A and B are shown apart, each in its own frame.
Chain A
Amino acid sequence: MCGWRGTILNVDLSSGKIDKEKLPEDMARDYLGGRGFNIKTLYQELEPGVEPLSPENILVFGTGPLNGTPLGCGRMTVTTKSPQTGFFVEGNNGGFFAPELKFAGYDIIVIRGRADKPVYLWIKDEKVEIRDASHIWGKTTWETDRIIKEELGDPEIQLRYIGPAGENLVNTSIILGNLARAGGRGGAAAVMGSKNLKAIAVRGSGGVKIARPREFQEALLEIWEDLDVDGSKDPFTRIWGLYGSPIVLRIQQEYGTLATNNGQEGVFEKVMDISGEEFLKNYVVKPKACFCCQSPACSHWCEVRDGPYAGTRTEGIQAGSTEALGSYCGISHLPAIIKGHALCNELGIGMFSTGTTIAWAMEAFEKGIISSKDTDGLELRFGNHEAMLQLIRKIAYREGFGDLLADGVKKASEKIGKGSQDFALHVKGLEYTAVEPRSSHVAALMHAVNDQGSDHTRAYPPYPPSPQAVPQEIVEKLPFDLRKASDDSIPDEKGKFLKWLFDSRATLNCLEFCLFNSRARTFADFRPFAKAITAATGMKFSADDLMEVGERVINLERSFNAREGAGRKDDTLAKRYLQEPFSKGGKAGFLPPLEELLDQYYEARGWDPETGVPTRGKLGELGLGEVADQLETLAKQMQGKHDGKD
């Protein structure tokens, strides 16, 4: 195969059996790769109701046809059933692992079963072995990175690993690689930990065959044109390409949407202390990026040189780090935020979920719902960075009060009760991230209907394309009214726009092209991607074909959750987002009319507006007739049970 390597690697940790299977051509065409392959595999293999931390759950690591080519960056997707939400969860990690896996000859790894002792997987081209990991169990992610590279004698080995949090089955644990490339919120690392799988190491010596190199290069140059920091028509290209995302903090502040003190306000008085400009000036050592990325300052290597956290060195501080461990928790001490980011990465927990959960605990403490008796003596007030850092460790090791928070904010607030659920910021049990739901109609809807829970990464960027950046013929064909969709003073067209945004981003996740880099023209004009993928694989794809893949994937993801009982009732927001507007700042007073937005969205999708579940007609259109059969059978069984009870 060209583009793809044509091989699925199956690993059963219970039996130790490893086999390789041909990637079916129809799966490649219908799902493209990464996110698409993963949900297809998960849906096919898991029976509804499977216990996420049991050996019956599976972990799927999927790459796309662009990984390993200069267009592919380093993104890839890991998908599993979440112990935190009970639905599917996926993480899109960057770095260098995905191209290396392709170079070794594989598109997908499927991990099944459970090893009887800690192990890691070592893939060296066609040779694959399960190795003992007893000596690295308990180690941090950074130690694991070093030890495995040393023992295999190759510093260029690429890895995915878990830290102590994943081993301790922390719901908010995540999988990392390249020290800072994280993904899999909702406990993907806990699933890995439940399988006794500490890491996957890979080294490949092959390459990715391109069917028509000249055409591929033409498409590549068209796509890269949008990423030119001086020429791009997208305002964020320069920000990502030159400064890095922490710059976004002051933008959010000025638009009144910088979630502060657990989202009680959208303005953080001390924003200057934690701004991107402050970070660049005093802490950044050098820029870093994923494989072949044209956005060289997306990640940074940084150091704290003095003060109580002197000696902290880490990578990958994003706006999200300074929000989650900063303004959410009322913390304005940037070195402490950097230290917190480093701890999250080394211990293997997600900083969004951690920051949101700690911010909730701080609010509960300040409101007298919990006291220092509950918190192991910690004075959990907003701004207390020492307490935050202690809590990060406690969560990762499930110690004392940290054990409660390790289950995530939904479960913690349900246990504590006393009204604390009202300010537990999550959707479907997954903690709030980054783009404030009270910042726009689209942002609110994006969080509410996101199948993996609160998340901003599957609908990024969350605003409509600029008519100046996109060719007129594409603007005319957009399935929504661009002018109305861009007008945030009205809810009109937001459902249609979000459908298009979710579908198109799902397509990019299947190609494993980084969402940060779909800018300006290629935000909406997918012809260069169609050209690239056709040239890479030798299979003919139009821009519409690509969009259909995205829609198919979203429908299958929703169907997976529907099998687990999800529906419209789960497409909601924390009470705070629906009832408590910001009192000041650039978005004061705004509350999203969620029910109206949901109706719009289901209508745009062709889903049942009452249940929020895909209809037979829609599934049939997308070649998912069997899924419709299964959902109908399950609905009848549920009805039968219900009637039996009556």
Chain B
Amino acid sequence: MAKINLKYIAHFSLLTGKLEEGIEVREKTTVSDLIKRLEQKYGGFEEALIDEKTGRLNSRNKVAIRKAGGWTENITTLEGLNMELSDGDTLIFW
């Protein structure tokens, strides 16, 4: 299991009713899997992040990742969505 930090800003703090939380995910969980999980838990994540026509991330909201010790990078591509999460990663939704 990997411990992941989630930061919810603006719209996403309204969706979740939280500013941040920590969760555990199984090994090989991808960013995309995590978004699905948050969609099930809170609703509104897929609509906010994914373009329903193309299935790609839209430009209306952002999801970014910071690997432990690394820079915060916006996730913009399919490879980004398929990235596997590791212990200590922080995901930022805004």
Question: Can you name 19 A-B pairs with beta carbons within 8 Å?
Answer: A232-B60, A233-B59, A233-B60, A235-B61, A238-B61, A239-B10, A247-B9, A251-B92, A254-B7, A254-B64, A254-B90, A255-B72, A276-B10, A277-B19, A466-B59, A468-B59, A586-B72, A587-B72, A588-B69
Is there a chain B Cβ closer than 8 Å to A185's Cβ? no
Most chain A beta carbons < 10 A, residue from B59, B62, B66: B59
Residues 227-260 of A contacting B (Cβ, < 8 Å): 232-235, 238-239, 242-243, 247, 250-251, 254-256
- What residues of chain B have their CB less than 8 Å away from a CB belonging to chain A? 7, 9-11, 13, 19, 51, 58-62, 64, 66, 69-72, 90, 92, 94
Asked if residues A235 and B71 are in contact (CB atoms below 8 Å), the reply is no
Residue of chain A at shortest CB distance from B91 = A254
Q: Which A residue sits closest to B72, measured CB to CB?
A: A586
Residues of A within 8 A of B7 (CB): 250, 254
Contact residues in A for B70 (Cβ distance below 8 Å): 586
User: Nearest 6 A-B pairs (CB), nearest first?
Assistant: A586-B72, A466-B59, A468-B59, A254-B92, A255-B72, A233-B59
Across the interface, which residues of A come within 8 angstroms of B19, CB to CB? 250, 272, 275, 277
Secondary structure of the B contact surface, majority rule? loop
CB of B71 within 8 A of CB of A256, answer yes
Query: Is the beta-carbon distance between A238 and B11 smaller than 8 angstroms?
Result: yes
A590 contacts the other chain (CB 8 A): yes
Q: B71 to chain A: closest CB distance in Å?
A: 6
Bound Cα distance from A586 to B71, whole angstroms: 4
Q: Judging by beta carbons under 8 Å apart, are B60 and A234 in contact?
A: yes
| Complex Cα spacing A588 to B51, Å | 32
Residues of A contacting B9 in the complex (Cβ-Cβ under 8 angstroms): 247, 250-251, 254
In angstroms, how far is the closest chain B Cβ from the Cβ of A158?
Answer: 32
Bound-complex Cα distance A243 to B13 (A): 12
A233 surroundings in chain B (CB, below 8 A): 58-60
A378 within 8 A of B: no
A594 contacts the other chain (CB 8 A): no
The interface residues of chain B lying within 8 Å CB-to-CB of A277 are 13, 19
| Given A254-B9, A468-B58, A587:B90 Cβ within 8 A | no
Determine the distance from Cα of A285 to Cα of B88 in the docked complex, in whole angstroms.
Answer: 39
> Residue A469 at the B interface, CB < 8 A?
yes
Residue of A nearest to B51 (CB): A468
Knowing A254-B9, A254-B66, say if A469 contacts B71 (CB, 8 Å): no
- Whose C-beta in chain A lies nearest to the C-beta of B54? A468
Q: Which residues of B contact A469 (CB under 8 A)?
A: 59
The complex places the Cα of A14 from the Cα of B45 at a distance, in Å, of 63
CA of A235 to CA of B60, assembled, Å: 5
**C-alpha gap A84/B92 in the complex (Å):** 40
0/1 string, A208-244, CB within 8 A of B gives 1? 0000000000000000000000001111001100110
Q: Choose from A239, A255, A466, A588 the contact partner of B64 (Cβ within 8 Å).
A: A255
Identity of the chain B residue whose Cβ is nearest the Cβ of A238 in the assembled complex:
B11
Residues from 266 to 299 in A contacting B, C-beta threshold 8 Å: 272, 275-277
Residue of B58, B71, B90, B94 near A588 (CB, 8 A) is: B71
Nearest opposing residue in chain B for A247, CB measure? B10
Residue of B with least CB distance to A467: B59
